[in-house]
Structure 1
Amino acid sequence: MRVVIEADGGSRGNPGPAGYGAVVRDAATGEVLLERYGALGTTTNNVAEYSGLIAGLRAAAELNAARVEVRMDSKLVVEQMSGRWQIKNPGLRPLAAEAAGLVGKFTEVTYGWIPREKNRAADQLANRAMDEAAGRVSRDAVEVITEPAVPEAPAPRSWAPPSLENATRIILVRHGATAMTAQGRYSGRGDVPLTDEGEAQAMAAGGRVAGISREVHAVLTSPLRRCVRTAELIAAEQGGVPVTVMDDLIECDFGLWEAKTFAEVQQDWSAEMTAWLESTSVAPPQGESFQKVAERVRGALAAVLSAYPGKTVVLVSHVSPIKLLLRDALAAGDAFLHRLYLDAAGISTMDVWPDGNIAVRSVNETAHLR
Structure 2
Amino acid sequence: MADREFVVEADGGSRGNPGPAGYGAVVVDAATGQTLAEAAEYLGVATNNVAEYRGLLAGLRAARELDPDATVHVRMDSKLVVEQMSGRWKIKHPDMKPLAAEAARVFPPGRVTYEWIPRASNKHADRLANEAMDAGARGEQWSPSASTAELDAGAAADGRVVRAGRGRGEPGVAPAGDVPEAGGEGSGAGAAVGERLARAAGTAARTAPGAGASASAADVTGTEATGTADATATVDATVLEASADADVRAAKTVASPGWGPPDMGAPATFVLLRHGETPLTPQKRFSGSGGSDPALSSVGREQAEKVAASLARRGTIQAIVASPLARTRETAGIVAARLGLEVTVEEGLRETDFGAWEGLTFGEVRERHPDDLNAWLSSPDAEPTGGGESFAATGARVAATRDKLVAAYAGRTVLLVSHVTPIKTFVRLALGAPPESLFRMELSAASLSAVAYYADGGASVRLFNDTSHLR
Report the counterpart of residue 18 of structure 2 in structure 1: none
Report the counterpart of residue 283 of structure 1 in structure 2: 383
1:330: how far off?
1.7
Matched, 1:169 2:269: yes
Report the counterpart of residue 99 of structure 2 in structure 1: 95
Could you tell me how far apart the structure 1 residues matched to 2:81 and 2:246 are?
A: 17
Which is further off, 334-343 or 287-296?
334-343
- Conserved? CA contact 2:271–2:450, under 8 Å: yes
Matched, 1:322 2:322: no
Structure 1 segments unaligned to the other structure (5+ residues): 1-14, 19-38, 53-72, 81-86, 100-127, 135-149
Partner SS for 1:335? helix
Could you tell me how far apart the structure 1 residues matched to 2:326 and 2:280 are?
A: 13
Matched, 1:76 2:73: no
Report the AA paired with residue 242 of structure 1. Answer: E
Decide which of 188, 206, 220 is 2:321's aligned counterpart.
220
Report the counterpart of residue 158 of structure 1 in structure 2: 245
- Conserved? CA contact 2:278–2:295, under 8 Å: yes
1:367: how far off?
1.0
Label 1:366 to 1:215 Cα distance change in 2 as closer, same or farther (>3 A). Answer: closer
Could you tell me how far apart the structure 1 residues matched to 2:248 and 2:83 are?
A: 23
Could you tell me how far apart the structure 2 residues matched to 1:93 and 1:332 are?
A: 20
1:332: how far off?
1.7
Label 1:160 to 1:366 Cα distance change in 2 as closer, same or farther (>3 A). Answer: closer
Report the counterpart of residue 36 of structure 2 in structure 1: none
- Conserved? CA contact 1:51–1:95, under 8 Å: no
TM-score by length of 1: 0.61
Report the counterpart of residue 200 of structure 1 in structure 2: 302
Structure 2 segments unaligned to the other structure (5+ residues): 1-51, 57-70, 114-168, 171-242, 253-258, 261-265
- Conserved? CA contact 1:351–1:360, under 8 Å: yes
Could you tell me how far apart the structure 2 residues matched to 1:261 and 1:196 are?
A: 22
- The percentage of counterpart residues that share the same residue type is 37
1:303: how far off?
1.0
- Conserved? CA contact 1:40–1:48, under 8 Å: no
1:51: how far off?
11
Higher gyration radius (CA): 2
- Post-superposition Cα deviations, 1:281-334, rounded to whole Å, max 9, x if no partner, equal 111021000111011111111111111110010000000000111011122222
Label 1:157 to 1:247 Cα distance change in 2 as closer, same or farther (>3 A). Answer: closer
Aligned CA-pair RMSD: 3.5
- Post-superposition Cα deviations, 1:44-66, rounded to whole Å, max 9, x if no partner, equal 665886999xxxxxxxxxxxxxx
1:76: how far off?
2.3
Could you tell me how far apart the structure 1 residues matched to 2:393 and 2:401 are?
A: 13
Partner SS for 1:219? strand
Report the counterpart of residue 264 of structure 1 in structure 2: 364
Could you tell me how far apart the structure 1 residues matched to 2:354 and 2:419 are?
A: 13
Label 1:193 to 1:74 Cα distance change in 2 as closer, same or farther (>3 A). Answer: same
1:95: how far off?
2.4
Report the counterpart of residue 253 of structure 1 in structure 2: 353
Could you tell me how far apart the structure 2 residues matched to 1:279 and 1:263 are?
A: 19
Report the AA paired with residue 207 of structure 1. Answer: A
Label 1:347 to 1:196 Cα distance change in 2 as closer, same or farther (>3 A). Answer: same
Report the counterpart of residue 333 of structure 1 in structure 2: 434
1:178: how far off?
0.4
Label 1:345 to 1:159 Cα distance change in 2 as closer, same or farther (>3 A). Answer: closer
Partner SS for 2:411? coil
Partner SS for 1:284? coil
Label 1:270 to 1:301 Cα distance change in 2 as closer, same or farther (>3 A). Answer: same
- Post-superposition Cα deviations, 1:157-207, rounded to whole Å, max 9, x if no partner, equal 636613823111110000000011121110001211000000001111112
Could you tell me how far apart the structure 1 residues matched to 2:267 and 2:73 are?
A: 28
Report the AA paired with residue 315 of structure 1. Answer: L
Label 1:40 to 1:322 Cα distance change in 2 as closer, same or farther (>3 A). Answer: farther
- Post-superposition Cα deviations, 1:40-92, rounded to whole Å, max 9, x if no partner, equal 8537665886999xxxxxxxxxxxxxxxxxxxx94623xx3xxxxxx5xxxx4
TM-score by length of 2: 0.49
Report the counterpart of residue 232 of structure 1 in structure 2: 333
Instruction: Within 5 Å, give how 1:2-17 maps onto structure 2.
Output: none
Report the AA paired with residue 274 of structure 1. Answer: N
**How many equivalent residue pairs?**
254
Instruction: Within 5 Å, give how 1:16-55 maps onto structure 2.
Output: 42=74
Could you tell me how far apart the structure 2 residues matched to 1:205 and 1:40 are?
A: 53
Could you tell me how far apart the structure 2 residues matched to 1:358 and 1:243 are?
A: 25
Partner SS for 1:281? coil
Could you tell me how far apart the structure 1 residues matched to 2:468 and 2:343 are?
A: 25
Decide which of 291, 295, 306 is 2:396's aligned counterpart.
295
- Conserved? CA contact 1:319–1:342, under 8 Å: yes
Partner SS for 1:180? coil
Could you tell me how far apart the structure 2 residues matched to 1:195 and 1:40 are?
A: 63
1:353: how far off?
1.3
Report the AA paired with residue 210 of structure 1. Answer: A
1:348: how far off?
0.3
Report the AA paired with residue 292 of structure 1. Answer: A
- Conserved? CA contact 2:246–2:460, under 8 Å: no
1:98: how far off?
7.7
